[in-house]
A and B are shown apart, each in its own frame.
Chain A
Amino acid sequence: MYRFIEPIGEWLLAWRGGGRSASKTREVDVPGHGTLLASASLDLTGQSCLRTNLATKRALDAAPAGAVIEIVSDNLSSVETIPFMLAGHGCNHLGTVHVEGSWRIYVRKSGE
């Protein structure tokens, strides 16, 4: 079955790779907060809601106190859900920005 589906998929769809990509420290502009140094940027563009939410949860748990994290997603359901996840992981929502078809969610781990 898989051998049959794969070539069709390769031909029909411009399929991208399946994993999330994480980049290290970079400067980000967060409205109302100015330029901040994000400890990690998690690019979850193209991912399903559940994968986006679980990858975010994993990152929030792993982040040290004070770290700023940027989560990039084009999954509207997840973009709506993620801010509500933050309190349970000792994080604060700094803001969400809509840029070129994706949403960038900025989070600070408070360590509470």
Chain B
Amino acid sequence: MSDSTIRTYSSDQRQTDNDETVSTPDEDVLTCPECGGQVIDDEEHGESVCVDCGLVVEENGIDRGPEWRAFNSTEKDEKSRVGAPTTNMMHDKGLSTNIGWQDKDAYGNSLSSNQRQKMQRLRKWNERFRTRNSKERNLKQALGEIERMASALGLPKEVRETASVIYRRALSEDLLPGRSIEGVATAALYASARQLSTPRSIDEVANVSRIDEMEFKRTYRYIVRELSLEVAPADPAQYVPRFASDLDLPDEVERRSRELISNAQADGVTSGKSPVGLAAAAIYASSLLTNHKVTQSEVSEVTDVSEVTIRNRYQELLEATEAAA
């Protein structure tokens, strides 16, 4: 996902550079200029090719991925490139220069006071140059915010990368005016966690966000609609492992919870029920069934689901399992 989007973003960038008045085309779908067919990336040959007519749209493409595997010192020298691979998690994709803070030259010697002052001025102008316009400053702040919330929630790098891509799309489609940077950043992170099957509940995300829950939910629904993100409904089973480990419960409980959930889904009693509530109740029920009892209040504490909800879903899960047996 992130890989292909980096590519389309860069080609898109070039197009707008050529003609400022051209409206931004849909970033996810590249169409063939000859026949209007779908264009795919042929990674092996470094080309973008039309699936229908075979036209090569772009050749000698650049692989922006890392090239770090070297097995001896010669290879290491040969494969040495300057800098890390590009990433959407930085506002300039990590392509700009950073001036170090140490005030040392290449040999590690301290600079003279004259040079030091010069470097200080250069550093200041470099920083100003890195973020030229308001959109870039906006992006820089938002990506920092995504990074902060993702690490507070323990989300992996792929989720941050996807969230950054979603935020960039929102920014380039002018969805930001009228909404807060924090709000859209929070919504992008929540959506990307859902898309990559590592969902966090709305409460958890709202807890680490700087905006209130209502605004977050509203912004989330808005960007999902405007960007046609197609976020599939979360599966309750995706929450189970995390909750189980937060409660120090063994694998047995986790397995039993999945069973209960799939029984309930087969029985059709999960429609319209919050997946977080179902996961919490499944954990509670299976902890009882496997003699690793945790109390409702402990489960409620960890999952942010009320005890009443746990009791209600618990009944439904057990009934569904009885019906299946």
Decide if A and B are genuine partners: no
> What residues make up the interface of B, taking CB atoms closer than 8 Å to A?
none
